[in-house]
Structure 1
Amino acid sequence: MTSDRDLLFVYGSLRPAFDGDMARWLAAAARHLGSAWASGRLYRLAGYPGFVPEGEGRVAGDLFSLPDPVPLLAVLDAFEECSEAFPEPREYRRERLVVEGPQGPVRAWAYVYARPVDALALIPDGDFLG
Structure 2
Amino acid sequence: MSEPRFLLVYGSLMSHKGLRTSLPQQQNSAMHRLLLRHARSVGTLQVPGKLWLRHGYPVLVPDAHSPSRVQAELYELLRPAQLLPELDAYELSNANHRFPREYQRSRLRVTHPQTGHTVETWVYSNGQSLARCQPIHHGDWQRFCRERAVSHPRPLNPAAWC
Relative to the length of structure 2, the TM-score reads: 0.68
Q: Is the 8 A contact 1:4 1:106 kept in 2?
A: no
Q: Find 1:48's aligned residue among 32, 53, 57.
A: 57
Q: SS at the partner of 1:80?
A: helix
Partner of 2:92: 81
Unaligned runs of 5+ in 2: 17-25, 144-162
Partner of 1:101: 112
What is the correspondence of 1:13-32 to structure 2 with a 5 Å cutoff?
Answer: 13-17=12-16, 19=27, 20-32=29-41
Q: Find 1:118's aligned residue among 122, 131, 150.
A: 131
Structure 1 residue 4: Cα displacement: 6.0
Q: Which has the larger radius of gyration?
A: 2
> Which amino acid counterpart does residue 53 of structure 1 have in structure 2?
P
Unaligned runs of 5+ in 1: none
Q: Which has the higher helix share?
A: 2
Structure 1 residue 118: Cα displacement: 2.4
> Which amino acid counterpart does residue 35 of structure 2 have in structure 1?
L
Q: Is the 8 A contact 2:38 2:80 kept in 1?
A: no
Number of corresponding residues = 124
For the residues of structure 2 that align with 1:112 and 1:30, how far apart are their CA atoms?
19
Q: Which has the higher strand share?
A: 1
RMSD of Structure 2 on Structure 1 (CA): 2.2
Once the two structures are superposed, what CA deviation does each residue of 1:100-123 show, in whole Å capped at 9, x if it has no partner? Answer: 331223211000111111211111
Once the two structures are superposed, what CA deviation does each residue of 1:46-69 show, in whole Å capped at 9, x if it has no partner? Answer: 332011113621111100011121
Q: Find 1:129's aligned residue among 142, 148, 153.
A: 142
Q: Is the 8 A contact 2:10 2:71 kept in 1?
A: yes
Q: SS at the partner of 2:12?
A: coil
